[in-house]
Structure 1
């Protein structure tokens, strides 16, 4: 019989990189991220000063652009293809990169006197950045994230069955055990109805049915329609809504209704 040579696999075989490459990647990514953020801050701060912001408000521009780019990139990467809000997050991430690049270019052009920073269009565009960033982040926060249900299917193993000869005796089948009588499940008791101290809570509670937290204006309109007259905002929020959410604390965690005039 021919000799069989056993080869010892090299520690570098396969797709896993060596330890020094993994270490460089693990340490290098946060280091590069920190360095780029620090290098970008002076340019974004400079553009904010050119637009008219004074200290310390001008320091908010670097943090706003960096946080905006990070949030939009994470949302775009974590939402599945075709999910609602994914395209908007991708456009937001691209827009944040364009803003950061433009801020650096403008700041360095002005710093080297190749461009005049006192221009109306530049000041106007820079002034629109914070409200535009805030509006898009609120849009991403209000867009629900789809939840993928775990798969409950179980792969059934395939068992090959050998054909028995024609004259073979049938296998003995053990007797089936006597089954116990089926027990019908006892229905769970219905939850007790909530009894409010303030009867006006009964009018406001249905406004939570659409999965949002109603605003003061919507609650005021419902009370007027029910004949309770005009109720003060402090009573609506501090008494009526507070009592409803005291009995059902999960209602206070719902997102605010977009159509409500005030929170």
Structure 2
């Protein structure tokens, strides 16, 4: 398969998956709404109120999933969003099953439970696809610029300059008197570069981990192990402070995916 056609195929597969997931989510929520509407109708709610009542249950799932997506993009864990999604999902499943009433056929309860479960799973898959898309866009916008290539002097030009200098030296008349060259002024010895401080050595070790882990953000375990091998202070606080300094100097490193600690 040609390399140029592979990205196109991946894009079309992603679009088809997104369309089918959206359709599955819509159908699942619709079936769940139907069951909850019938339950509300049986308990003194009529007309528009019977249709609005299911939204007080299933909307918790959508709100919770969106908050979980927001937290994952911020590289955080939102326990409130997880609790909200769990409460809405459990409530929807229980109420859908209870709408069946008393039945001798277990499949009646299975049929009632499938729509809310499918709605939860389909919506979770849809949020995962949105998460991957937004993360890829964020990484492409924050990627470091590609360094420009310095011009290289052709070898032929260097070879042509050497004969010209030799020719000028040959044109100097031989009868010229030697000119006494003035002694060159004594230059002060250049100061040797001071060795890096302990803080700079720690930052160099932490910065090297991003390349060692394949453009991934090192976890605390990675940093403490690397500092311990280098014979440097290896506490978790020292490692995290060094990572903050490195990412402040190179902000694009903060957007890299996190590496899993072994």
- TM-score, normalised relative to structure 2: 0.39
Q: Which has the larger radius of gyration?
A: 2
Structure of greater relative contact order (alpha carbons < 8 Å, 6+ residues apart): 2
- TM-score, normalised relative to structure 1: 0.39
